[in-house]
Amino acid sequence: MKLHSKIAVIITLILGLQFGFSFLIFQVQSSENVSDEIVAILETSMGNITIRLREDMPITVGNFLYLLEQGVYNNTIFHRVIPDFMIQGGDPTGTGYGDPSIPKIQDEFSENPENNKNYRGTIAMANTGAPNSGSSQFFINVVYNSHLNTIHPVFGDIMDGMDVVDTISTVNTDSNRKPLSAITINGTQLIPEFPKWIIFPLLLVASFVAILT
């Protein structure tokens, strides 16, 4: 790993420590009160999209939850939508180039090959195609995109709102596949609500793995 990448990871780790300990002090609860199922809702300008996050993807889900709780996805747009393929969002810059201040994470794939399939209605990490280049961007598959199975880690499934995804995928776009009228993520929710400090150990796992690679 290059020096600047290690520095970025260390900065993220420090921020995670600050974030996690603040909630550990004020919101420590018994793990027995925490649901095994984590559900995130994207409140878009075209309707809500409800996502069940995968339990076997701690690095990717931990990163997603951390960014969600930090409000990174609020007021961002779906900057790339392609009919019969996918819709992509999660870039605070709205350009598709990504925010360089958000560190990249380690690629993560399930030990169960079936769970790595980019079926219709799954959410996966967007990246440049190079190893370990995922950051904040994600996409939702509109069809089964089998050619992405070994490149883009799947970390959740759409529980409700696939009709919203389908509608977004068919809006008018420019030559770069960017919608002519902005489609925004106005806010997010976690259901059921759970102690935010749970994100802290997940983030630590992601950071330590990145440092060691």
Q: Which residues are catalytic?
A: 80, 85, 88, 127, 139, 148, 152
Take residue 89 and report the two structure tokens written for it. Answer: 């969002």
31-36 own/partner pairs: CB under 8 Å, 24+ apart: 34/194, 34/195, 34/198, 35/192, 35/194
Residues 6+ apart with CB under 8 A from 40: 50, 51, 53, 64, 65, 68, 156, 188, 189, 190, 191
